[in-house]
Copies of this chain bind each other. A is one copy, B any other.
């Protein structure tokens, strides 16, 4: 089976259309008929491009969304070499999730596809890359003498956990307060930003 340009375009339309739908207000569980309607395709096409069916399709969408998560934090995430840069990154993260609101595309994706093999790998891989970028930033700060001697990997892991939790609370409460609190607490606790928790 050779995929032509037209075919690739259709496949892409399916993935992106599904992603857009999942970012919408009332997604709940997506059905193949939903996807068919949104993307202007047919069952035939869906199974043509995703022989594994719904599961394979949603996994593809999850990978697509995971990529966006990291992209949305650039260029800040890639150059965490000063206190100011950490501050801008913090703002970018909060802004991204505030804009996203209660609804987390990757979250509902995982809710639907969570148990299947390969599902948690997608998010694990995302978090690993994210954590590594943070770790590099912490190391850079340490080498520049801007912060003390910390376990960069563990601190990066703490940031990852904090962000995940902040976003999860956001999904329930609709407020970014927790996300901001944990980011500020970690930044401040380790000299990556000025005092906001301590008075």
Which residues on A are within 8 Å of B, measured CB to CB?
26, 28, 111, 114-115, 120, 123-124, 127, 148-151, 154-155, 157-158, 160-169, 171-173, 177-179, 181-182, 184-186, 188-190, 196-199
* Given A127-B173, A158-B185, A158-B186; 14 other pairs, CB 8 A cutoff: A26-B115, A154-B185, A154-B196, A155-B181, A158-B184, A161-B169, A164-B164, A164-B166, A165-B165, A165-B168, A185-B186, A185-B189, A185-B190, A189-B189
| 3 closest A-B pairs by CB | A189-B189, A165-B165, A164-B165
Give min CB distance, A101 to chain B, whole Å: 13
Give min CB distance, A167 to chain B, whole Å: 8
| Complex Cα–Cα for A190 and B160 (A) | 19
Known: A127-B169, A149-B198, A186-B185. A161 touches B162 (CB 8 A): yes
**Interchain CB contact under 8 A, A199 and B165:** no
Q: Which of B123, B188, B189 contacts A188 (CB 8 A)?
A: B189
| Complex Cα–Cα for A121 and B162 (A) | 21
| Complex Cα–Cα for A182 and B160 (A) | 8
**Nearest neighbor of A199 in chain B, beta-carbon distance:** B149
Q: Which of B148, B150, B173, B181 contacts A158 (CB 8 A)?
A: B181
